[in-house]
Amino acid sequence: MEIFVFVFIVSLLLIHEMDAIRLKEWKMFVVLKNKHDETAYRIFSLAHLPLYVVAFFILASGGELAKTILYYAVDAFLLIHAIIHYGFRKNPNNGFNSIFSKAIIYSLGLLALIHLWLIHFT
């Protein structure tokens, strides 16, 4: 069950990243906010590539320890991610104001908690 929840989390995270590109999330990053949109888009997008490669490689061929570390890292990130998005909710460059965007972000945090519970208690 926990692997299903984790795969669902990763899938929802990818949808959030598509939403982030649509909403130009890079405008909230100090390093990228003043760059031309095309440049910032490329940097923002390519910065995700090593993260995806490592995560998918571990899921596909990693040992149990590597998968466990990945689970904890992603779950912790998503909890912090939800808190950061909440903290930036009034940022003028924050485009994540729709119910759709907020539902994805905060569902990821909730699912991370559920996933942590599952890997500890089942």
What pLDDT, in 10s, does the model give residues 69-116?
Answer: 999 999 999 999 999 999 999 999 999 999 999 999 999 999 999 999
What average pLDDT does this structure show over 40-59? 97
How confident is the prediction for the chain on average, in pLDDT? 96
**CA-to-CA separations, 9 to 37, 38, 77, in angstroms, rounded:** 28, 28, 12
pLDDT at 31 over 90: yes
Closest CA to 52 of 31, 28, 70: 70
CB burial readout 92-118, b (16+ within 10 A) else e: eeebbeeeebeebbebbbebbebbbeb
Residue 1 confidence (pLDDT):
87
pLDDT at 122 over 90: no
- What's the whole-model pTM score? 0.93
Q: How confident is the model at residue 65 (pLDDT cuts 50, 70, 90)?
A: very high
